[in-house]
Structure 1
């Protein structure tokens, strides 16, 4: 079974030739396959961020080979892997990056080590496995090479997982780690709509947002227009996560970067 599409997610950025090199390798081995660039703007080495973007995106893509590289352990003994699900396959490092996306696609059916020399470049750099191992593997999977031909099977229970983000919901207060910040400056928390409800916070509540000493007022809202331009709001975003935003502005510019935010009902 092959795939018409390869999706591509990295922290490579676009100021260098890293993305183009990977595209070129894929074009050499799978010239008819189409590419979907999810993002190459994951902050460097931010695994949780990359995993969140990937997991929130793959359910909306056609059946694909999902190539993802955020790889601070490149060149070490971390495993290069292919993960098979019922709705596509994922290629990348075994460092927790792929696991949330695999779960979003229905769960891991099987996994294999990318070990076969026939499906990588002849010279493998210690610092660029995206080009030399992962991109060739993705291309060969797309043209129909079976996952089991890449190397020995891996016990799915042995795959690396990211630490679960800390979320605390008590009556009137929700505290959560940050997952991502989008280009509009909206701060996406690991907490979901269910967590907001567990804290008893609902639309129209006036709250205080706390992060690293800052305390600012906000409103729990349904959408941006529920508050005036320039005001802070707490909203459920399109991925069902709690987000801190500014109507017509940037929450991260207003509040600064932090690993954790607390939303508390004002008394």
Structure 2
């Protein structure tokens, strides 16, 4: 896409929110975009992010962005909605990310090559009127996305923000030590699968292969889990570790909820190692 002013009709607008599917919030955003940019193609990334879970939203957007066409990407997960949080437009790798400046966009921006420029969204000429302070997705992000798709430049939206002043979430940690690798739970999906910050390549570096048994330390607890290609490789109700579609290690229960069974919320510390 490059400069949004020279966009082509194949670029898309995407939506990621915690609005759910039981109300008309998502439809309202679609309606605003369709009114302003009727030819734009809109992709729904996810609307079932747990309410206010910025970290989960950041993980979903970052892991989805490599498979999306270049476009304008709206993120609306903000437990501080209605407060003083500024709205931002961030250019990165030919993409434009729109959302609250709360770190939600930061991992996807990094996955797109890093910030090229960022702007505060403050030019009310591009907003709906009146603006509801609790529904910026409809009244600010969606109309701004439609205007960008139509040729408005990000720099038209408001003053430029120094890159270092953007809010960023801490990157998930992973540390390879002699004989083990330490990480954390990045996110938990709707099935209760716990995605770790540990890459499959880290286990390969330790000599762990699919079919082996994996030592798992969760605080003071120690487990021995089968390391397989998929959760379906173990009987229903059994725990398993596998490399997920993002290339990260996940712990799951076949037909069950691993996060609930093990008490593993996002951010929980995990250590993995080969078993003798």
Same-fold status (TM-score > 0.5): yes
The superposition leaves residues 225-253 of structure 1 with CA deviations (integer Å, 9 ceiling, x where unpaired) of 55455432211111111111234544335
Distance 1:45 1:198 in 2: 36
8 Å CA contact 1:229–1:248 kept in 2: the answer is yes
- 2:251 equivalent in structure 1: 244
What is the CA distance between 1:215 and its match in structure 2? Answer: 4.8
Task: Output aligned runs, 1:96-111, within 5 Å.
Answer: 96-111=103-118
**Aligned partner (choices 32, 54, 57) of residue 64 of structure 2:** 57
* Residue 162 of structure 1 pairs with residue 169 of structure 2: yes
Distance 1:263 1:227 in 2: 19
Say if 1:213 and 1:12 are closer, same or farther in 2 by CA, change over 3 A.
farther
- 1:9 equivalent in structure 2: 16
**Aligned partner (choices 17, 21, 24) of residue 28 of structure 2:** 21
- 2:3 equivalent in structure 1: none
CA RMSD of aligned residues (A): 2.3
Say if 1:16 and 1:225 are closer, same or farther in 2 by CA, change over 3 A.
closer
- 1:112 equivalent in structure 2: 119
What is the CA distance between 1:219 and its match in structure 2? Answer: 1.4
What is the CA distance between 1:36 and its match in structure 2? Answer: 0.4
Gaps of 5+ in 1: none
* Aligned length in residues: 267
The superposition leaves residues 200-245 of structure 1 with CA deviations (integer Å, 9 ceiling, x where unpaired) of 5443332344447765431122344554554322111111111112
Distance 2:210 2:93 in 1: 38
Gaps of 5+ in 2: 1-5
8 Å CA contact 1:79–1:94 kept in 2: the answer is yes
Task: Output aligned runs, 1:1-267, within 5 Å.
Answer: 1-2=6-7, 4-197=11-204, 201-211=208-218, 215-224=222-231, 226-259=233-266, 260=268, 261-266=270-275
What is the CA distance between 1:144 and its match in structure 2? Answer: 1.3
Distance 1:99 1:132 in 2: 22
Distance 1:99 1:248 in 2: 33
8 Å CA contact 2:107–2:171 kept in 1: the answer is no
8 Å CA contact 1:214–1:255 kept in 2: the answer is no
8 Å CA contact 1:211–1:258 kept in 2: the answer is no
Distance 1:225 1:31 in 2: 43
What is the CA distance between 1:192 and its match in structure 2? Answer: 1.8
Q: TM-score, normalised by structure 1?
A: 0.89
3-state SS of paired residue (2:119): strand
Q: TM-score, normalised by structure 2?
A: 0.86
Distance 1:64 1:240 in 2: 24
8 Å CA contact 1:170–1:198 kept in 2: the answer is no
Distance 2:226 2:177 in 1: 18
The superposition leaves residues 98-120 of structure 1 with CA deviations (integer Å, 9 ceiling, x where unpaired) of 11111212221111111111111
